[in-house]
Chain A
Amino acid sequence: MDMNAYLSMFIDESNDHLQSLNENLLRLENEPEDLSIVQVIFRSAHTLKGMSATMGFEDLASLTHEMENVLDLVRNSKLKMDSFIFDTLFKSLDALEAMVQDIVGGGTGKADVSAIVQSLQAIVKGDYGKPEAQATSGGSEASGGGMALDEFQTSIMQQSMDSGHNVYHIAVTVREDCVLKAARAYMVFDVLERNGEVIKSDPSVEQLEQEKFDREFVVFYISQLPADSLKQQIETVSEIDMAAVTLLDAESLSMLAKPSVPEAPPAVQDAERTQEAEGQIAAARAQTASSATAAPPAVSRTIRVDIERLDTLMNLFSELLIDRVRLEQLAGEIRRNDLIETVEHMARVSGDLQNIVLKLRMVPVDSVFNRFPRMVRDLAKSLDKKIDLVIAGADTELDRTVIDEIGDPLVHLIRNSLDHGVEQVADRLAAGKPEVGTVHLRAYHSGNHVFIEIEDDGKGINRDTVLKIAIKNGVISADQAESLSNEEVYMLLFAPGFSTADKISDISGRGVGLDVVKSKISSLGGHVSVNSTLGKGTTFSIQLPLTLSIISAMLIKLGSEKYAIPLSSIVETAIIKRDVIRNIHGNRMIEFRGAIIPILSLSTILQSPDFSEEQEEESEVVIIRKGDKWAAVVVDDFIGQSEIVLKSLGGYLTGIEAVSGATILGDGQVALIIDPNALIK
């Protein structure tokens, strides 16, 4: 059995469970009386325990086991949640997360969790607060070698039994002349995995893989199948001599569980065991009962796909798109009807394909947002503020590339809102605001963009303070300061080397933050803006493109050169006569749809070597927009609309003015993509 094949699945699922643990613990903290939440938490912890035990991550399993013990008491109303328990559970989650991260990084997932385990055990015993009273059980029970089942495995099997599954002890013997013992063992496991779950094998899976076994190996196995069909299926694997399948009951299981313990005080042992078993059964019953009442879990119709494969798919599709544009061009030149028809059909199909490929890469922002409730809770605690985080639109979808990159800027903005925005409780009360500050985090679609807003009801941005600091730090001069609009003043927050915090805190305020946020968002093709009312609160708004890989664009000519302008910022195209251009305060403007808008010469901006509209009587213009500002950009000629694949200019050419990237045209030439936002000042 190849553990690696399961490892990625284990990691994905562990992360899901950790996330759900985190969310539900937070919910529980708000509604400590709601025992149904405890049930959900218990189930997640339980599954995680089973998975990690199966995968051989003992430390993970032992920690989840201790958490489970605590949760078990809570859900049976034997223990009341309090802040110590919450903190310990959150700490355990952090430790679990660190272990899973370690496994992701190729580590063994081992970590010293004895301190947390001790606190958890102290909670179970009800004597926390006196940390010296501690038990040593922790990791020691795993050491019982040989066929001994550790208690996680026993409890999994016991619970499966209670829920009506069959638990088997299977002894498989391979033939004496078998050449590839490891391969046969693998095939047996393959059969088993198809019909149920292997709990433990002896020798271990690794040893089996390395053929470190004689002729026989033993597995503990949970399945719905009857014993004889199981036996038959295993024996159909070639070179398997025989498979002895024994159905286990609770009694034989508990015998197997602790074979190394001498039978000296049987009465006591037995009594203990029955008690324990009863406890387990009760627990299992409670669990099945609750899962029965909960909504039946929808059958998942999704598969997990390696991100790299998606990227490859995307790249291949980009190549295809370039060829498609080329084909369209050729078909246009050759003018043969059946060729044109075929190319048109292909264009339609590839259009649909493009939609699907792009959708595949869309991920709900929830995958970024879901870590914030926990972060806000911890931060609010350490800042000694009371803050509510309200998330809306977590199901809004964004391209995965954007999702991957947007996390850090958001963390920074939220930290900023918590630290500098929301006031201390006393100040809030003095200002007549509710004690608990609210931070809204919302995402929504608008046109070809996604907006993410972070709104706090804190003290707002003080224009004068910002200006004073900006002047002090040399960001602007005192003369400039006078003429700036409020919005421009707020944008100073994003200037490099600017920090409004009087004291440097470890939350934010190192003055390296917000300018990084801005450059990160710009690099994603987005924009950030600030709105604030003094005393009422501040809103940071981030505008992001829906996708980074394929966009619709208008191709234009400028002498011998071709450029692409993203369609999303084009209002319309027009042809204007020379005599409608007016000169207002030295700026060339035209009247367009009732408004006076500036005219920009693309050939001047891009220093075109062989085109100038100076002598033209009529000029082609593209009307572009940035927010509510419009401008007319004079070009040489329109070529047409096209789907283009965004390509980066590479690390060597960065910060090129008015150019956001490049694309490859149907004829194999590179065309630069104009950044309309940089044209409108």
Chain B
Amino acid sequence: MGEELKVIVFALSTEEYGIEVDKVRTIERMMPITRVPKTVDFIKGVINLRGVVIPVIDLRGRFGLGETEATENSRIIIVAVNNLEVGFIVDAANDVIDIDSDTIDTPPEVVGGIKAKYLRGVAKLGEGRLLVMLNLSEVLNKSEIIRLEHLEE
């Protein structure tokens, strides 16, 4: 038995993803987002979270999965990593589960269209259910964004 991990489970298109609970500040319903000009497309803007201004990223856009309109189920997950607070727009967030860190395997090259370097691993939940664990510091890597910006220019 390895370490027990508490994980927030959220959905992006057909896959299920996980973020450790201790990195998640809160989960919010969709709220008005103020556009910030001259940023990459997946940065949707900033929100007012109880007096604090927090940038919001569309995770679908971040992983190049093709953005969709927000639905009733869409949520903003506020994460705090490396002194950065950022909100992720996800299709749904509805579960907290315990997983055993031993069940996390190294990820294959590409999972659901997401490159391996953004992933911490894949956890098997039984009944063929797979949970993709995100590598948050890589997802929020800014030098990566700068390169993306240059590509767009």
Question: Do B140 and A652 touch (CB < 8 A)?
Answer: yes
| Bound-state Cα–Cα, A595 to B84, Å | 46
- Interface residues in B57-87 by Cβ distance below 8 A to A read 83-86
Please judge, given known A-B contacts A662-B53, A670-B46, A670-B53, whether A652 and B37 are in contact too, CB under 8 Å. Answer: no
B38: contacting residue among A648, A650, A656, CB under 8 A:
A656
Is residue B52 within 8 Å, beta carbon to beta carbon, of the partner chain?
yes
Q: Which of B8-16, B28-36, B102-110, B123-131 contacts A (4 or more CB under 8 A)?
A: B28-36
- Interface residues in A636-681 by Cβ distance below 8 A to B read 647-654, 656-659, 662, 664, 668-672
Q: Which residues of B contact A649 (CB under 8 A)?
A: 36, 46, 53, 55
- Nearest-Cβ distance from residue B118 to partner chain A, whole angstroms: 16
Question: Do B51 and A659 touch (CB < 8 A)?
Answer: no
Residue among A315, A319, A648, A662 facing the most chain B CB atoms (10 A cut-off):
A662
Q: Which residues of B contact A606 (CB under 8 A)?
A: 37-38
Q: Which residues of B contact A651 (CB under 8 A)?
A: 83-84
Please judge, given known A-B contacts A649-B53, A650-B55, A653-B55, whether A662 and B39 are in contact too, CB under 8 Å. Answer: no
Q: Which residues of B contact A315 (CB under 8 A)?
A: 51
Residue among A651, A652, A658 facing the most chain B CB atoms (10 A cut-off):
A652
Question: Do A647 and B52 touch (CB < 8 A)?
Answer: yes
Main secondary structure of the interface of B (DSSP, over half): strand
Question: Do B34 and A650 touch (CB < 8 A)?
Answer: no
Q: Which residues of A contact B35 (CB under 8 A)?
A: 561, 609
Q: A144-158 toward B: CB 8 Å interface, digit per residue (1/0)?
A: 000000000000000
| Bound-state Cα–Cα, A564 to B38, Å | 17
- Nearest-Cβ distance from residue A681 to partner chain B, whole angstroms: 16
Residue of B nearest to A648 (CB): B53
- Nearest-Cβ distance from residue A399 to partner chain B, whole angstroms: 20
Question: Do B38 and A657 touch (CB < 8 A)?
Answer: yes
- Nearest-Cβ distance from residue A661 to partner chain B, whole angstroms: 8
Is residue A607 within 8 Å, beta carbon to beta carbon, of the partner chain?
yes
Is residue A322 within 8 Å, beta carbon to beta carbon, of the partner chain?
yes
| Bound-state Cα–Cα, A609 to B38, Å | 12
A652: contacting residue among B34, B47, B51, B55, CB under 8 A:
B55
Residue of B nearest to A646 (CB): B53
Q: A552-564 toward B: CB 8 Å interface, digit per residue (1/0)?
A: 0000000001000
Please judge, given known A-B contacts A649-B55, A672-B34, whether A656 and B39 are in contact too, CB under 8 Å. Answer: yes
| Bound-state Cα–Cα, A318 to B50, Å | 12
Q: Which residues of B contact A653 (CB under 8 A)?
A: 36, 39, 43, 46, 55
A607: contacting residue among B38, B48, B84, B142, CB under 8 A:
B38
Q: Which residues of A contact B39 (CB under 8 A)?
A: 653, 656
Q: Which residues of A contact B52 (CB under 8 A)?
A: 647
A669: contacting residue among B32, B36, B37, CB under 8 A:
B32
Residue of B nearest to A319 (CB): B51
Question: Do B36 and A650 touch (CB < 8 A)?
Answer: no
Question: Do A659 and B34 touch (CB < 8 A)?
Answer: no
Interface size class of A (residues with CB under 8 A): 20 to 34
Question: Do B37 and A607 touch (CB < 8 A)?
Answer: yes
Q: Which residues of A contact B136 (CB under 8 A)?
A: none
Residue among B53, B54, B86 facing the most chain A CB atoms (10 A cut-off):
B53
| Bound-state Cα–Cα, A322 to B35, Å | 20
Q: Which residues of A contact B53 (CB under 8 A)?
A: 647-650, 662, 664, 670
Residue of A nearest to B46 (CB): A670
Q: Which residues of B contact A662 (CB under 8 A)?
A: 34, 46, 53
- Nearest-Cβ distance from residue A324 to partner chain B, whole angstroms: 14
Q: Which residues of A contact B84 (CB under 8 A)?
A: 650-652
| Bound-state Cα–Cα, A652 to B38, Å | 14
Residue of B nearest to A654 (CB): B142
Q: Which residues of A contact B46 (CB under 8 A)?
A: 649-650, 653, 662, 670, 672
Q: Which residues of B contact A609 (CB under 8 A)?
A: 35
Residue of A nearest to B86 (CB): A652
| Bound-state Cα–Cα, A606 to B35, Å | 10
Question: Do A656 and B36 touch (CB < 8 A)?
Answer: yes
Residue of A nearest to B57 (CB): A652
Please judge, given known A-B contacts A669-B32, A670-B53, whether A659 and B37 are in contact too, CB under 8 Å. Answer: yes
Q: Which residues of A contact B55 (CB under 8 A)?
A: 649-650, 652-653
Question: Do B43 and A671 touch (CB < 8 A)?
Answer: no
- Nearest-Cβ distance from residue B144 to partner chain A, whole angstroms: 12
- Nearest-Cβ distance from residue B67 to partner chain A, whole angstroms: 15
- Nearest-Cβ distance from residue B136 to partner chain A, whole angstroms: 12
- Nearest-Cβ distance from residue A256 to partner chain B, whole angstroms: 56
- Nearest-Cβ distance from residue A610 to partner chain B, whole angstroms: 10
Residue of B nearest to A667 (CB): B32
Q: Which residues of A contact B38 (CB under 8 A)?
A: 606-607, 656-658
- Nearest-Cβ distance from residue B102 to partner chain A, whole angstroms: 33
Interface residues of B (CB under 8 A from A): 32, 34-39, 43, 45-48, 51-55, 83-86, 140, 142
Known: A647-B52, A652-B86. 19 other contacts (CB 8 A): A606-B37, A649-B36, A650-B54, A650-B55, A651-B83, A651-B84, A652-B84, A652-B140, A656-B38, A657-B37, A659-B36, A662-B53, A664-B48, A664-B53, A668-B48, A669-B34, A669-B48, A670-B34, A670-B45
A-B contact pairs, 20 of them (CB 8 A): A315-B51, A318-B51, A319-B51, A606-B38, A609-B35, A647-B52, A649-B46, A650-B85, A651-B83, A651-B84, A652-B142, A656-B36, A656-B38, A659-B37, A662-B53, A664-B51, A669-B32, A670-B48, A672-B36, A672-B46
Enumerate the 10 nearest inter-chain pairs by beta-carbon distance, A residue then B residue, closest first. Answer: A670-B34, A606-B37, A647-B53, A662-B53, A651-B84, A652-B55, A653-B55, A670-B48, A670-B46, A652-B84
